[in-house]
Amino acid sequence: MPPRTTWSHNLMLSGGLALAYVVSMLFSLTLTRAGEGVAVIWFASGLLAAAFLLLPWRWSLALASLCFVLNFACNLVIGNPPLAAFLFPVLTFSEAFGAAWLARRACGATMRLTSFNRVARLILLAVAPATAVTAIIAADLFTLYGRSFNVVLTSWFYGHALGMAIMLPAVLLVCRPDMIRDFRRTVGEQLGLYALIIVVSAATFLQVRFPIALLIFPALALLCFRLGPRGAAVAALIMAVALSSMVVVLPSPPNLAGWSLTEKTRSLQFLIAVAFLTSLATAMAIADQKRMKRLWAGRTRVARAAQIRAVSAGVAKTQFLATMSHEIRTPMSSIVGFTEVLLKREDLPEPARRQLSLIDRAGASLMAVVNDILDFSKVEAGEVELRPNRVTPRAIAQDALAIVADAARRKDLDLQLSFIGPVETAVMIDDLRMRQILLNLLSNAIKFT
């Protein structure tokens, strides 16, 4: 990728993450602070951890510094003491950096969340330890300001762990364009599915005595089948924004009546996390199935291409053997023919006749090899033509025996012919091919006896 494109990509990503951090931080600190001044909803750490994982270290440190200053200023504005206002961003920065450091060791340097197993490792081995340690440190430090250790610990861990468990994998999936390879849909369909998630999320707060929140799961299932893991991540972000805003602004549904803000917020965060992870598991299973089908199709194409090349090579080999056999057989016929003519002369000295006999036998053997190669080539090329004639089995057998009789006599072998069954009845058979089969069997019998 050219440097200018990389710089612009990092700038856009940094700007988007910084804006999301500021919005989520202001929302959490101004609207969702509960007991002991700890935010019940805290997505900012997940955004900052995603910045550490997605951006080069210089860009991520610059973004973290900006977020640190803004967080410190916001804490001062809402009335926290200067030291407490400083400790909040320090703990958030440490939490995000620790989660990112653990995530690289749990899921690899590339942070490709290609399976639900990687997502589970990210949450269990990175998010949970980082937020748990930070929650203990925060609870211990803020006891210096007279705040309850248990309340700070519980509020911090619930808010930060659930927020990061939703935000971090969702941002990592959204920022990976390769996750939409098998789930390309029209803009209209995508907007329609995301609008469905907004409608179902809003319907959760209708004043009816029915658990409408359960409708979120089939809506997410439909979205997973159509838009895949990245669509599930975007839907989780939409649900997080919509439900978190509605729980503060709108009156509670009947099933949450009488609950405190903290209880309602935690229950909705838990609902978002469960719905997101469930839909993400479904989407990743579908994505893996599509990937396997794509790999299978690719390997099938490669196998077919290899098969075509092998068939072409076999045809070329067969044609080559047939051509060479024809070319060799013509001069060999002349050699064998003239050798037989010379052997018929009466004035040959005995040494010359013996040498000619050797030449004749060698030529006959070579001619047999050439004929075998030609016949094999014809069989492979599918060019063998059968020409049936009306002949008797006795005649074919006697002809074959007569041809090998001299060879058997030279080895002092006794050849006998006996019949079983009606051998005088004429049948339709290719006598040339049948005789060739019998000659091969007889020649081998004589040769190896």
- Residues near 304 by Cβ (< 8 Å), separated by ≥ 6? none
Q: Where are the beta strands (DSSP E) in 296-434?
A: 389-391, 427-429
| DSSP element (H, E) containing 218 | helix 216-249
pLDDT score recorded for residue 208: 64
pLDDT score recorded for residue 2: 39
pLDDT score recorded for residue 3: 42
| DSSP letters for 403-442 | HHHHHHHHTTPPP-----S--SS-EEE-HHHHHHHHHHHH
Cα torsion angle, 104, 105, 106, 112, sign = positive
Gap between the terminal Cα atoms of the chain: 76
Helix axes 57-77, 3-31, angle to 10 degrees: 20
Strands 389-391 and 427-429: antiparallel
pLDDT score recorded for residue 94: 92
Domains of the chain: 1-175 (1.10.1760), 385-449 (3.30.565.10)
> For residue range 183-237, what is the model confidence (pLDDT) as tens digits?
788 888 888 988 988 888 888 777 666 677 778 888 888 888 888 888 888 888 8
H/E/C letters for each residue in 186-199?
Answer: CHHHHHHHHHHHHH
Residue 311, number of CB atoms within 10 A of its CB: 10
Q: Give the integer Cα–Cα distance in Å for 132 and 32.
A: 20
What pLDDT tens digit does each residue of the chain (449 aa) get? Answer: 334 447 888 888 889 999 989 888 888 877 656 555 677 788 889 999 999 998 888 899 999 999 999 989 988 888 778 888 888 889 999 999 999 999 988 888 777 787 888 888 899 999 999 999 999 998 888 887 777 888 888 888 888 888 898 889 888 888 876 666 777 888 888 889 889 888 888 887 776 666 777 788 888 888 888 888 888 888 888 888 887 777 766 666 665 556 666 777 777 788 888 888 888 888 888 888 888 888 888 888 888 888 888 888 877 777 776 677 667 766 777 777 777 777 777 777 878 877 777 777 677 767 767 776 666 666 666 666 777 888 888 888 887 787 778 788 888 888 888 888 787 888 888 877 787 788 788 888 888 88
Q: Does the model's pTM come out above 0.75?
A: no
Q: Give the integer Cα–Cα distance in Å for 331 and 321.
A: 16
Q: Give the integer Cα–Cα distance in Å for 109 and 2.
A: 22
